[in-house]
Structure 1
């Protein structure tokens, strides 16, 4: 008798398995995924505001800057801009572990990440950072 193909989700005839978190519990998120979500949303926002200047720019994330970018020991860059390749790299650990915020709460940390994306985009296109998203923080 030939062996029956084993279905990955139907062990012992129980049917397809559901999510580990189930329908009630939220999915777990990490610092890394929250950072990527915030940075990606900010990149999408600024690209939508400046499509002709930033439409071809690639935003990427890295944990730490390479040693070549760290000029002084007391200064860790939060982003790097490569104008030739049209790439902006936002560094996660300096923004999460060494945030320059006056109140250390989730909202201010989010602003620090978004601000780094806006300032990096401004640097790439040669604009003042406040021009990039002037209405973004007007209500705060």
Structure 2
């Protein structure tokens, strides 16, 4: 038995055909109208840098004028024997974190977001320690005390 054909009442433009697949209407966002938008891995990376930097700023008043930036990873960060994960400019009081070298050198299995966050935090601690001329363990002395 032949299927009944749908008859379009108005001619559709080619642009409308690309968005209106099989007459189902326009696509909606995956999260729907009542849920917040999903965060990407880049957003999570930036959020981890920002929260760790604000925590260290609350402990060390010397960091009030320091600037924390995130870049993809410029070519001058690649050397013969290593790849820079961050760059500290002491005279400008500025730290640039290179996202791709930090994330790409992770050897994580699927679902280990916590370990990725800890690695990013450790990079922030080491970069700030370099800026202040201290050991990373000195930045938050009470935090690593075992009870």
TM > 0.5 between the two?
yes
Runs of 4+ with >6 A deviation: 100-104
Q: How many residues align?
A: 117
SS of residue paired to 2:127: helix
CA RMSD of aligned residues (A): 2.5
Tell whether the 8 Å contact from 1:118 to 1:133 is kept in structure 2 after alignment: no
The structure with the larger Rg is 2
Gaps of 5+ in 2: 1-28
2:33 to 1, 10, 22: 22
Distance 1:38 1:130, change over 3 A: same
Q: Distance in 2 between matches of 1:31 and 1:108?
A: 14
The aligned counterpart of 1:31 is: 41
- Structure 2 length normalisation: TM-score? 0.70
Deviation at 1:100, TM superposition (A): 6.2
Gaps of 5+ in 1: 1-19
Tell whether the 8 Å contact from 1:83 to 1:124 is kept in structure 2 after alignment: yes
Distance 1:95 1:69, change over 3 A: closer
1:123 to 106, 115, 130: 130
Deviation at 1:95, TM superposition (A): 1.6
The aligned counterpart of 2:72 is: 63
Deviation at 1:134, TM superposition (A): 2.8
Deviation at 1:67, TM superposition (A): 2.3
1:97-136 matches, cutoff 5 A: 97-99=104-106, 105-136=112-143
